[in-house]
Amino acid sequence: MPQPTISVDIGNPTIESRDLSVWYARNQAIRRVGLKVPRHQVTAIIGPSGCGKSTYLRAINRMNDTILSCRTEGQLFVDGEDVYGPNVDPVILRRKAGLIFQKPNPFPKSVYKNIAFGVQLHYRASEKELDEVVESALRQANLWDEVKDRLDDNALGLSGGQQQRLCIARALAIEPEIMLMDEPCSALDPVATAKIEDLIFELKKDMTIVIVTHNMQQAARVAEYTAFMYLGRLVEFSRTRDLFERPHEELTENYITGRFG
């Protein structure tokens, strides 16, 4: 199997996979991917549909576990702990690594309850504490000013961009260390996209972000590092500017210049 080009050495990674493979029934979606995700930086994963990028993202917080036929091999470390090892509670893992989906998926409840719900699941909080957490999370997600007078309104009444930021606020409320984003802007217009990208820029000060995106300009804008995957393999991992200016692999070059995919 061809070895990927890894052109940067990442010390003290937040996430590290070694020979990670994932199967859906007999179909191998990820082939022995070894990748170190740098701490408190944004790493983008790009590649054509079906390359395994979303599967890789979901492997990080074991969201693939919910798919019955899914099988994982190899190792994946979060902060040095093998998340597929024994005695790992996926619920606690997911508290550490929040996942944002392509389509905003708020609960059909009030703005306030959307955030409070997750917090109450993990912590016992007084009403006052809860108010504080809700406000703080909404502020962090740059949504507070837009919804502070509509906290009791149904979240489904918000715009698409606001819903997505609400989902980010919901994830932030339980103070994750890692934010996994699966094409978080693909359903949003350019203005809403810019707001999410601004938010990513602020969030990375305190957390590690992995973003899967189809939009290569977005990867170039928000990510310090970029991984290119193809047919389940990691092909190249570099600093984003290097990957887009001087890709090492012909495959990477052909993909990012739009020759296929």
Nearest to 21 by CA among 30, 12, 13: 30
Q: Which is nearer to another protein, 3 or 217 (CB)?
A: 217
The minimum distance between CB 221 and another protein, in angstroms, equals: 10
The minimum distance between CB 244 and another protein, in angstroms, equals: 4
Q: Which residues contact 30 (CB under 8 A, 6 or more apart)?
A: 20, 21, 22, 52, 55, 56, 59, 232
**Of these, 24, 107, 123, 244, which contacts another protein (CB under 8 A)?**
244
Residue burial 185-224, b: 16+ Cβ < 10 Å; e: rest: bebbeeebbebbbebbeebbeebbbbbbbbbbebbbbbbb
Q: Is 246 in the site for another protein (CB under 8 A)?
A: yes
Q: How many residues touch another protein (CB under 8 A)?
A: 14
The minimum distance between CB 256 and another protein, in angstroms, equals: 5
Q: Kindly give the pairing relationship between strand 15-24 and strand 70-78.
A: antiparallel
Residues of span 212-241 touching another protein by CB under 8 A: 216-217, 220
**Of these, 4, 143, 247, 251, which contacts another protein (CB under 8 A)?**
247
Q: Is 259 in the site for another protein (CB under 8 A)?
A: yes
The minimum distance between CB 258 and another protein, in angstroms, equals: 4
H helices within 123-189, ranges in order?
A: 127-140, 144-147, 160-172
Applying CB under 8 A, the residues found at the interface with another protein are 216-217, 220, 244-247, 252-253, 256-259, 261
